[in-house]
Amino acid sequence: DAARNLELPTGRSGAVVMSVEPTGPAAQAGLRPGDVILSVQGTDAKSVSEITSALSKVTTGRTARVVVWRGGREVLALIRKR
């Protein structure tokens, strides 16, 4: 299945980053196409709508804690919301 192809840990799911705006906050935080977003602000992310909802709750100027799966390990990205 898709999780196995992405080498996600058993029981984990997320949403694959398809593209990143080159000058946007996600790119500045180091997100890359192919990363899998596992959680936002400590809440597991199982779908794009859950990620969008969690990010919408972050106040402008504040930093969102986003955990992504990249290269077989979890990576923390700190995304400052504009």
pLDDT tens-digit map of 24-71: 999 999 999 999 999 999 999 989 999 999 999 999 999 999 999 999
For residue 7, give both structure tokens. Answer: 């080498």
HSE-up (13 A, CA, CB side) for residue 47: 3
Q: How confident is the model at residue 2 (pLDDT cuts 50, 70, 90)?
A: low
Q: Give the angle subtended at the CA of 53 by the CAs of 50 and 63, to the nearest 5°.
A: 110
Q: Cα–Cα–Cα angle for 55, 58, 64, nearest 5°? A: 75
Rounded Cα distance between 16 and 60, Å, is 24
**pLDDT reported for residue 4:** 53
Question: Shortest CA distance to 24 belongs to which of 70, 65, 81?
Answer: 81
Higher pLDDT, 3 or 33: 33
Residue-level pLDDT at 3: 53
The model's pTM: 0.88
**pLDDT value at position 10?**
84
pLDDT at position 9: 81
Q: What is the pLDDT of residue 62?
A: 96
